[in-house]
Amino acid sequence: MALSLLADVVLAVHFGVVVFVVAGLPAIVIGNRLKWAWVNSRGFRWLHLAAIGVITAQAWAGQYCPLTVLESWLRQQSGGQPYDSSFVQHWLERLIYFNAPLWMFALAYSAFALLVALAWWRYPPARRGVP
């Protein structure tokens, strides 16, 4: 039971990472148009760029996300099948997991990374001391 609960926690963290990466880009674009200073903070922008960079590199290397691997392992260790079922797992999986070849994810992540790079160029992060 404890490992199954821990697997749900990993799934929820994974979902949070997905939301951060996906919602981060529109937040940058919309936030710049609405003059939100936080969307250009160096920490936020570097973390966002690093996240999509790691995700893209991982996909091109043919590797699954470590959070997916950890969650699956925890579910197996708890006696269940990977992605067996709990309320949290059932709904979050439907939102973040898709059945497609890894190369398709690599292409999608690369296109998204290009959009993030374009946003970096169009809306550069704030320099130190500059709001």
How confident is the model over 16-71, as pLDDT tens digits?
Answer: 999 999 999 999 999 999 999 999 999 999 999 999 999 999 989 988 889 988 98
More confident residue, 59 or 129: 59
State the angle between helix axes of 2-33 and 102-122 in degrees (0 to 180), rounded to the nearest 10: 40
Q: Residue 131 domain-assigned? A: no
pTM: 0.80
* Dist. CA 47–CA 57, nearest whole Å: 15
Q: Residue 30 domain-assigned? A: yes
Under the banding of pLDDT at 50, 70 and 90, the label for residue 91 is low
Range of the structural domain that residue 71 is part of: 2-122
Q: Residue 55 domain-assigned? A: yes
